[in-house]
Amino acid sequence: MGRHTEENGRNWWLGALAIVVALIFWQFVAVFVINDEFILPSPTDTFSAFIGLLGDGTLLLDIEASLIHFAIGLGLALLVGIPIGIIMGWSRRIESLVDPLIEILRPIPPLAWIPFAIIWFGLTAFSAGFIIFVGAVFPIIINTYSGFRGVPRVFVEAAKMLGCTKDRDLIRYIAFPAALPSVAAGIRIATGVGWMCLVAAELFGVSNFGLGQKLWFFYNLHQMDSVVVYMIILGLIGLAFDMIFRYYVDRHFLKWRMGEVA
Amino acid sequence: MANLEIRDLTQSFPRDDGSILTVLDRVSFDVKEKEFVCILGASGCGKTTLLRMIAGLDTAESGTIVLDGEKITGTDPKVGFVFQEYSLFPWRTVIDNIAFGLELRGVSEEDRYMVAEWFIDLVNLEQFRDSYPFELSGGMRQRVAVARALTLDPSVLLMDEPFGALDAQTRNMLQKELLQIWEKTKKMIIFITHSVDEAVYLADRIIVMTPCPGRICQNFEVPLPRPRDRTSVEFAQIRRKVLDLINQNCVIQ
């Protein structure tokens, strides 16, 4: 672990340097080569737009709206996806029953559900939430399911020899902890997919607030510096979700796997 | 009085070509309380199948297994099992692995840790109480597995080539430790191995099996007192005797 932290320290240094160089390059190209803030706003334009949007509260309101959409979608996906993944992984019969249905629904792009999302839920947070749900639920189901399928038989048998014989106990004490790395990986993928769906869902007008919706709104106003602000915010929040997984979930809930993955 | 009676145990599996492979053919034997029995045989002779049936993990086609007067029909905490492969739950620390059976029975954390700590001492892993399995060597993992199998105070401890994956030195050390544990706990132990040396070192009695179909070919008492010295003349003589027996009587027919 010690060596790991050191490496990260070195990388951090180089990474920061690369960002600074990229910003300088961007500024140079925007000011001296393109010189048209509609086609390419410069970092300084973007920064002042950012200060303005932060000052009048629009940005925070949009972040809040998007996070609510996202929480609804991901929350429902977890609530539905994990139990379905568990029972599919645990029972061959339920797998045969549910699997064809999932395989038919899964390839439908989440955005294709937008018309029905609007018809069913109107222009509410649930409408955007539904699109995120559709995008996030399948990675969760598939990864939970394959995690449960991959539980080594010796763990189940060892547990049975120690008096753990009921299905419920075996799932809770053995299969779920053993499948947790896979479940977590599924949630991580779902977070990424869900976040992309969020932008598109809002962009297509299922909401009057939100980062994606506002990005489109500023495009229509031709305020491209504000568009860039929203792009960067979307990226940073997506990055933050990934950081949560990398530095919190993996280290606190999956530290027993260090020997296998580090 | 712990007592295990195995009568006419038979098991066969259908093969892909439609024929039937008999894995075990009318296997019968008894094991007395506190007895250390090694089942010796080449791989594929059905010894693991036999052990899994005693454990209740597999069901025999015919025949009976009676432990302490009760027929074995499924897994039972009266039977402890140490697997050949590493079977510790990797998401649990050493103490939580050992205390798992007690936790499931609803024993309070304080009480189950007390018991588990006694077993940690028994296998000499005090410093690794809160380690995760990935931090332990192969030998340590199997010692934890032994401790875990003993916490529910089983009548019989079944061991399926538990030291098979270990290097020779660790193996010898664990054999010695296992005998110490056996002296302290006085459990009935059925230990599967394909090593004559291991069987002669550990067992009160060696049951030799022949493969295809798996049959018991010899019951051999080891008269040596413990601790046994691997390098002694007597040890070598018994080893040779067992090997001769196998060569004369237990050839594949």
Each residue's pLDDT tens digit, B85-118: 999 999 999 999 999 999 999 999 999 999 999 9
Query: What does pTM read for this prediction?
Result: 0.85
Q: Which of B49, B59, B89, B91 to mutate to test the interface with A (most CBs of A within 10 A)?
A: B91
Residues of chain B in contact with residue A172, where contact means CB-CB under 8 angstroms, are none
User: Residue range A80-85: average pLDDT?
Assistant: 96
Residue B105 has its nearest CB partner, among A159, A161, A163, at A163
**Predicted ipTM of the assembly:** 0.91
Tally the residues of chain B: 253
Q: What is the pLDDT of residue A259?
A: 56
C-beta of residue A186 within 8 angstroms of C-beta of residue A144: yes
- State yes or no: pLDDT of A1 exceeds 70: no
Give me the residue spans of the domains in chain A.
1-35, 63-205+238-258
Q: How far is CA A22 from the centre of its chain?
A: 26
Task: Give CA angle at A126 (A121, A128), nearest 5°.
Answer: 100
Q: DSSP secondary structure string, A78-114?
A: HHHHHHHHHHHHH-HHHHHHHHHHHHHHTTS-GGGGH
Edge to edge, the sheet with strand B79-82 lists: B79-82, B156-160, B188-193, B36-40, B205-210, B215-221
d(CA A67, CA A228): 19
Which stretches of chain B are DSSP H helices? 47-55, 94-98, 100-104, 109-122, 138-150, 168-185, 196-202, 233-249
Task: Give CA angle at A201 (A123, A197), nearest 5°.
Answer: 145
How many CB atoms are closer than 10 A to CB A206?
27
Phi, then psi, of B108 in degrees rounded to 5? -65, 155
Tell me the longest C-alpha to C-alpha distance in chain B: 57
Query: A63-205+238-258 is classed in which CATH architecture?
Result: Orthogonal Bundle (1.10)
d(CA A6, CA A130): 43
Q: Which of A153, A156, A161 to mutate to test the interface with B (most CBs of B within 10 A)?
A: A161
d(CA B155, CA A28): 80
Q: How far is CA A218 from CA A39, A223, A226, A231, in A?
A: 14, 5, 6, 11
> Helices A224-243 and A58-90 meet at what angle, rounded to 10?
40
Q: What is the pLDDT of residue A118?
A: 87
DSSP code at position A203: I
- Low-confidence stretches of chain B (pLDDT < 50) are 253
Q: Which residue has the tokens 């597999």?
A: B58
Asked if A57 reaches chain B (Cβ–Cβ under 8 Å), the answer is: no
Asked if A99 reaches chain B (Cβ–Cβ under 8 Å), the answer is: no
Tally the residues of chain A: 262
Q: Which residue has the tokens 């029995």?
A: B37
d(CA A56, CA A46): 16
DSSP code at position B182: H
Q: What is the pLDDT of residue B248?
A: 77
Q: Give the tokens for residue B96.
A: 């939580």
d(CA A153, CA B133): 17
Q: Where are the beta strands (DSSP E) in A52-106?
A: none
**pLDDT band for position A11 (50/70/90)?**
confident
**pLDDT band for position A37 (50/70/90)?**
confident
